[in-house]
Amino acid sequence: MKYSDFRPRLKGNKKVAYEYINNTERRILVIGDIHAPFTIDGYLGFCKDMYARYNCNQVIFIGDIIDNHYASFHATDPDGMGGGDELDLAIKFVKKWRKAFPVADVCIGNHDRIIMRKAFDSQIPQRWIKSYNEVLGTKWNWVEHVIYDDVQYVHGEGGTARTKSKNDMMSTVQGHIHTQAYVEWNVGKKFRIFGMQVGCGVDSKSYAAAYAKNFKKQAIGCGVVIGGHTAINCMMDL
């Protein structure tokens, strides 16, 4: 049954809220860095709940879909999984996300591109390299950044969302920084923009996250952006 065919007997604020939650503007769920297979338990379910709660109609993964710990440019755990095992497990994790959100944009993160960077450094031609969709079995739209409703979505590898929004004079949604989740508005005579850090879904107890064991606690959450005018941080109960 279509919304236009359904007229609930609502009045006052309830009617306003119902009409607002069912309008046709973009309602984007922004999923934080998941770093498969090192994703915290329950994060997928949480994101599905937020998608339903805010009646979202679009999904953006903010980047670092996979961790690629075994291939990291930094020190790796000698007792961790080998490359093949880690990739196989990551693909199993991603399969669940693909089933939940078959259509999505993905902002390519620094961990996602580790293998591409190493292939480039080794002078391997691009034609030998499989795409992200081929490897992970997805049909997502993998991009460096994407813009909807005058809001730019980027993974972010050099600075915070508040800084990039000011530098670009454009509302910005960003991931990458696992310990921050906020929305900050900047308003001038002729502009109104926000910077949003969405948090992440990384399991801080995994060996892949051991480098951050003495850092601030990770902000486990996602974001919702409505029509480019409203940005909401959704924090997962732990």
b vs e for 1-37, b when ≥16 Cβ sit within 10 Å of the residue's Cβ? eeeeeeeeeeeeeeeeeeeeeeeeeebbbbbbbbbbb
Closest CA to 226 of 49, 18, 62, 28: 28
What pTM does this model have?
A: 0.91
pLDDT tens for 37-92 read 999 999 999 999 999 999 999 999 999 999 999 998 888 888 889 999 999 999 99
Distance CA 47, CA 57 (A): 13
Percent of the chain past pLDDT 70, that is, above it, reads 96
Amino acid at 74: H
All structural domains of the chain with their residue ranges: 27-146+198-235
**pLDDT over 70 (residue 109):** yes
Q: What is the DSSP string of 108-175?
A: --TTTTHHHHHHHHTT--GGGSPPHHHHHT---EEESEEEETTEEEE--SSS-HHHHHHHHTSEEEE-
Q: What is the mean pLDDT of residues 138-167?
A: 96
Q: What is the mean pLDDT of the chain?
A: 92
pLDDT tens for 176-225 read 999 999 999 999 999 999 999 999 999 998 988 887 776 778 999 999 99
Amino acid at 194: F
**pLDDT over 90 (residue 158):** no
